[in-house]
Structure 1
């Protein structure tokens, strides 16, 4: 480019800039709208790029995802509410965040789809005959009470916006472990079977892994708990004595911190059986690894997704935060995460955005009539398969315990790290 044409190009650019700045004075809202950045902190489970891109496109706001491992994200959010605007994780983080003053109440009147949210969150039961499950069922920590505590008495302020949820158990590779019968022979005890020694993984999240271990120890008949959702110091001592002894014998081959790592554990043959989340099971199947998501006869460990508002959020960003929360219940996100095996709190709104075979498989527990793809666009369900554990209603009727921060959480934390480092 010659000097003259260079200069012409420069002037043209300046002219364009001037035009833009004039426009800016005439319509500052165009720019103000673009400038808002919503920082969403959470885990890889829901912080997926496709959702971020779609939300930005539909809402006209800039969204920044800050994904971390379960324990790290909770620690960061509790210690520093300035570091996020919205927090996405599981209900076991609520008590910690609330007591730390890291989150503020959400007004149900600003949630467009609040009336559509089903009974699971509001009462703790998907239907009247379902088991409530031990520990922090979501309704127990949902409503802000008059004295600013959290409880199950309905009010117009809530500690979290309910969205994704699921029941978890363990996944096992049928190349090495014979396939069992759901709700009959499949048992948490399998995690402690000597036959699986050296090939067992647990999730490294103290508020989750501890229940997988406790359910296994109880199912194996090694000890019982008065209330598995709120273990005593004596019970914790005994539980960890059993686990430490197992670990020293080489029973556990690893503790995973993220879904991709759990997939890697299965892929490399490091484990044949381990704590798992639904996206991990889908990813393994998508890669040709025959993993079954167990339906333990003792019941599942359930979790409920929470979307929380930082206590430090500015008024301007708060508006964007409510937009994003409402977007999550508007249909598309619920249909998207159904493809990784997750449920949404108002499924009827997502149903029209799912094909009939998808809805029948993921929600109704019916046979897949065609191959179904996961969120990564790989086939994760082959035609002819049934969803492990059956329908939404069936699975959530069999909850043994909810992910919970127990009263003796600090003590259990010390014990957990002792186990990891043994």
Structure 2
């Protein structure tokens, strides 16, 4: 997909105007140099910005927005950012649009500590490699300008934050299931929950939630769920649009705060969800269970990318910020919202033993644990749904992906959202 073709298809993605514009910039002043970071709310949080500024002595501006919103901005205007933080499914789009440039491995302080998930696709030798855009297939930049899993001295993104995604459900209304046994993506299309269901508004993410749900319900069977055919996509959206016309879906959400509001207000009892949303709801007294589906997770790998338009001064500061992300404290911070970091052992010293045992080892919480917002998000005795870090990433069904049919899916997704 060349730049002209991309700009044509990008018009189908929700724009900043249709989504209400970017939120207020989180910024500080009176320090040099300044780097501008575009990304989503899940990592562009004020405590992270403040801590990085204090430790690095640079000025950092965060521009958080919805996932479709920020990918459109980054792919069409590389001059507007220095670093981009999102998920690996954005790499193909940004790389082909010429919006990001390779990152030099020899300037990454903790490269050798990054685990094999991003480098080989497997957290352990027995782990399944999920369908679709497994991060290792997009990691290494090649001399001919392509991306592949062949090791090189340049990479398309810094591997850092990652997680397995599923759906959250309010267990006051939906009985708690058994992880990997009874919890199922099919619940999103269960008629018992009609009118109380929401999905994420992102065509390279939400499509897989719908696909996993429809397949679990026996409504469709995919040859390769990570790279669906046009005929399969047509049938999938025929199913999804039929459900929507019957009032099954309460709506779609475009940011983590929006997903939290939908369940907190009681508008939905089950929805596609990111881990921080489920954690925040528990901290607000809503008993949200984050499922471990028997079909496997939809996984994502965070990517930190460098703008192709970055200046030399900003580039030095950008490398500082990237290295800081793997220095320990940031990984410990985002663990408290359920996210993992690519070199977890360095973050362990910034976590209590109880936090490490719950978030990474999959052990019962020995004491109440707090989320990133300071509220209790884990009660004594709770066990993280899905178990340990390794077990969760041994059960990946599909990665967030940009399929060969990407252009076509944009139109179908728009039709679904607007129906």
TM-score bucket (shorter structure): over 0.9
Matching residue of 1:315: 312
1:127 aligns with 2:127: no
Equivalent position to 1:233, from 230, 233, 244:
230
Higher relative helix content: 1
Q: Give structure 1 regions of 4+ aligned residues with deviation exceeding 6 angstroms.
A: none
1:207 aligns with 2:204: yes
Counterparts of 1:49 and 1:179, CA distance in 2: 34
1:275 aligns with 2:293: no
Q: TM-score w.r.t. structure 2 length?
A: 0.93
Matching residue of 1:182: 179
Shift of 1:94: 0.1
Counterparts of 2:342 and 2:307, CA distance in 1: 22
Counterparts of 1:89 and 1:174, CA distance in 2: 30
1:151 aligns with 2:151: no
Unaligned runs of 5+ in 1: 1-32
Matching residue of 1:301: 298
Residues 190-240 of structure 1 deviation map (CA, whole Å, 9 limit, x = unaligned): 000110111000000111000000000000000101110111111000000
Partner SS for 1:52: helix
Counterparts of 2:80 and 2:142, CA distance in 1: 27
1:382 aligns with 2:384: no
Number of equivalenced pairs: 390
Matching residue of 1:22: none
Counterparts of 2:55 and 2:197, CA distance in 1: 43
Matching residue of 1:5: none
Equivalent position to 1:217, from 192, 198, 214:
214
Equivalent position to 2:261, from 255, 259, 264:
264
Matching residue of 2:330: 333
Counterparts of 2:204 and 2:370, CA distance in 1: 31
Unaligned runs of 5+ in 2: 1-29
1:36 aligns with 2:33: yes
Q: TM-score w.r.t. structure 1 length?
A: 0.92
Shift of 1:145: 1.4
Shift of 1:148: 1.0
Equivalent position to 2:45, from 40, 48, 52:
48
Counterparts of 1:372 and 1:177, CA distance in 2: 24
Shift of 1:146: 2.3
Matching residue of 2:83: 86
1:141 aligns with 2:128: no
Equivalent position to 2:284, from 280, 283, 287:
287
RMSD value, Cα: 0.7
